[in-house]
Amino acid sequence: MFLGPAITLFTLFMALPIGYAAYLSLRTVKVSGLGLGSGARTEVWAGLENYGRALADSEFLASVGRVGLYGLVLVPTMIVLALLFALLLDSRGARATGFSRISIFLPYAVPAVISSLLWGFLYLPAVSPFYYVFEQLGWDAPTLLSSRWILFAIANIALWGGVGFNMIVIYTALKAIPTDIYEAARIDGATERMIALRIKVPIVLPSLIMTFVFSMIATLQVFAEPVTLRPLTNTISTTWSPLMKVYRDAFTRDDIYSAAATSIIIAAATFILSFGFLRLVQNRAFNQEK
């Protein structure tokens, strides 16, 4: 009875849409004649044809490569910074921890569209105060919205907004560690650095794994940041990320069947990567215990 509302919401807004998308991915439109008049366009069974076209689409493969590189830049940096902030806040000599926690976490509460707009204007040389300062100092600042730097510009927005959430998860795990362990380590002569590296990090490893999986899933689903920055630069195409290609196919080209197949592929890849990473970590942990 208590699970009923959650199950109902999950079924209506998750399971059924996923099932309908899977159904659409197996359908296509057959055009008769010039495609004019009633009955000229009929929906027919396509099987795996849409999946084959999606996997062979050079634009989709290019978007996967960009997101893969984006993830290699973003995810390790985000996890390292989140762990570093959590360890600093949990250190023995930390001060103003409450204010620091809120300051680090606050960007996560800003919607991705708003944060992308804020950073987008900071990236524009004509209006950015940073470029004005660099110009006054005589420094040549890179154009972050150029094709060379756009990936890092988008990753910076996600980094700014995501570090706080991961930091809270890791910091919560650190606060659950009994202080007796730290006292015993200090009696044995361990420094704060040794305690952090040899006690805290190994104990919060499950939290690190969880934040890594969450960050990886968010990376595969990147959409708001490049879409919001796109009007500010011509270096972001309509298929910069896989989800942007899904959006273009569904709402610009009116090809919901191809878009549905691509979205199912993205969902399956997300599940496989997440589940595979967790299984790999679990197997390594089991082998170490043996």
pLDDT at 47: 87
Residue 284 has pLDDT above 80, yes or no: no
Residue 290 has pLDDT above 80, yes or no: no
pLDDT tens column, 45-63: 888 999 999 999 999 999 9
d(CA 288, CA 126): 56
Confidence band of 173 (pLDDT split at 50, 70, 90):
very high
pLDDT at 162: 94
d(CA 238, CA 253): 12
Q: What is the mean pLDDT of residues 233-251?
A: 94
Question: Do residues 58 and 40 lie in contact, with contact meaning Cβ atoms separated by under 8 Å?
Answer: no
Q: How far is CA 238 from CA 96, 141, 177, 223, in A?
A: 44, 27, 47, 11
**Domain regions of the chain by residue span:** 1-47, 54-289
- Rounded to a whole number of angstroms, the distance between the first and last alpha carbons of the chain is 42
Residue 97 has pLDDT above 70, yes or no: yes
pLDDT tens column, 6-55: 999 999 999 999 999 999 999 988 776 655 666 667 778 888 999 999 99
Structure tokens given for 272? 């496989």
d(CA 265, CA 18): 12
pTM (two decimals): 0.89
Confidence band of 229 (pLDDT split at 50, 70, 90):
very high
Q: Positive or negative, the Cα torsion across 124, 129, 132, 134?
A: negative
- For residue 223, with 0-12 CB atoms within 10 Å meaning exposed, 13-18 middle and 19 or more buried, which class applies? middle
How high does pLDDT run on average in the chain? Answer: 90
What SS3 state is found at 43?
strand
Q: Closest by alpha carbon to 273, among 219, 198, 206?
A: 219
Residue 220 has pLDDT above 60, yes or no: yes
CA 177 to chain centre: 29
Domain spanning 54-289 has what CATH number? 1.10.3720.10
What SS3 state is found at 243?
helix
- Between 273 and 281, name the one with better pLDDT: 273
Structure tokens given for 244? 């942007």
Question: Do residues 11 and 21 lie in contact, with contact meaning Cβ atoms separated by under 8 Å?
Answer: no
Q: Positive or negative, the Cα torsion across 145, 78, 76, 269?
A: negative
pLDDT at 36: 60
Q: What is the mean pLDDT of residues 82-94?
A: 92
